[in-house]
Amino acid sequence: MRKYFYIYKATLLEKLQYIMNTLLGFISFFVMLFIFFNLWNYIYADATQLISGYTKTQMIWYVIITETLWFGTTNRTLTNQVSQDIKSGSIAYGLNKPYNYIYFIIAKHFGEITFQFFLFLIAGTVIGVGFLGGLPGFNLMYLPFYIPVFFLGILINSLIRLLISIFSFWMEDSGSLHWIYNKLIIVVGTLFPVEIFPLWLQPVIRFSPIFVVTYGPAKLVIDFSIEQLFKVLAAQTAYVIGLVCLLAYFYQRGVKKVNVNGG
């Protein structure tokens, strides 16, 4: 695993040299938060009013946390690079290298998003505290519980994106699948908590990636409970195991396809 740590470290150091590229991503982040600050301020006639069990402060903090998770972990390595490597045949060169291509991509991806994520996390926290005055009930004692949940959520999101890109072995362009997944997470998973949606739709959302990628981590921060923690961790563990198995299966089939075609 040492080689992948070096890949991660080298990518992280390289990313630190291009801070301006990361800072430009704050524009969309700030615009989105500004829109939803005003939306929820308008919807909540009274600051103490509850909507689907959420106060105005909790609702806005939910958006801040989910948007941080989304914008802070987005890059083009898992989408454009993997798809392009497969379509151009460049992946064949990676198969002959002294490392596993999948592990290489994941290490590179996390190297690219580590600094980016913490910048967005700091920015989101400053905005939330500045406009809302903090989150009532938030306790730093729960921080050791938040860390694995956030990490697993980011990992699951990365594995799903990588799995979609691996489908480029059989599809001309996996971009349409990435677009569908992105819109699903943004519209359903970051802007509104599960409780806002109709009762018949909530169980579907809870079984979807939304629950483990955005809703679960954000819900724990704004309203922590041990029961919810175990539910989220159990679901995340199941997702990681399932995605790793699917990724290994489809990647091996794709590699065989390359070998058969003389790649």
- Mean pLDDT in the chain? 86
Q: How confident is the model at residue 259, as a pLDDT?
A: 60
Q: How confident is the model at residue 81, as a pLDDT?
A: 83
Q: Are 61 and 132 in contact (CB under 8 A)?
A: yes
Over the Cα atoms of the chain, what is R_g?
Answer: 20
Encode pLDDT of 97-129 as tens digits: 777 888 889 999 999 899 889 988 998 898 888
Q: What is the mean pLDDT of residues 69-90?
A: 83
Buried b (16+ CB within 10 A) or exposed e, 95-128: eeeeeebbebbbbbbbbbbbbbbebbbebbbebb
Q: How many CB atoms lie within 10 A of CB 161?
A: 23
Helix axis angle for 56-71 and 26-43, nearest 10°, is 160
**Whole-Å CA distances, 6 to 2, 40, 71, 93:** 6, 44, 25, 20
User: Residue 84 — pLDDT band, cuts 50, 70, 90?
Assistant: confident
Q: Are 210 and 203 in contact (CB under 8 A)?
A: no
pTM: 0.91
Encode pLDDT of 140-190 as tens digits: 889 999 999 999 999 999 999 999 999 888 877 788 888 899 888 888 888
Ramachandran angles phi, psi of 50, nearest 5°: -110, 130
Q: What is the mean pLDDT of residues 37-45?
A: 81
Encode pLDDT of 197-207 as tens digits: 888 999 999 89
Residue type, 32: M
